[in-house]
Amino acid sequence: MNVGDLVWCDSFSCVDIDSDRYTVPPGPVNLDEVTIVMVAEAPPPDPADWFYAGDDALFARTTVQAFRDAGEDVGSIQDVLDLGVYLTTAVKCGKSGYAISTQTVKTCSVLLEAELGLFPLAEVLMLMGDTAIKAVNAIAQQNKEPRVVPAGATYTLHGGEYRFRGMKVFPSYVHAGPAFFIEKSKRRMVAEDIAAALEYVRRLPAA
Mean pLDDT (the chain) is 94
User: Starting from the edge strand earliest in sequence, which strands make up the sheet with 85-89, in order?
Assistant: 85-89, 36-40, 124-128, 167-172, 162-164
Helix (H) / strand (E) element for 81: namely helix 77-81
Domains of the chain: 3-203 (3.40.470.10)
- Within 10 angstroms of residue 122's Cβ, the number of other Cβ atoms is 21
Torsion of CA 133, 134, 140, 141, to 10 degrees: 160
* Overall average pLDDT of the 20-46 stretch: 91
Q: What pLDDT, in 10s, does the model give residues 44-86?
A: 999 999 999 999 999 999 999 999 999 999 999 999 999 999 9
Q: What is the pLDDT of residues 83-99, one digit of tens each?
A: 999 999 999 999 988 88
Asked whether the predicted pLDDT for residue 199 surpasses 70, the reply is yes
Sign of CA dihedral 115, 117, 121, 127: positive
**β-bridge partners, 40:** 89
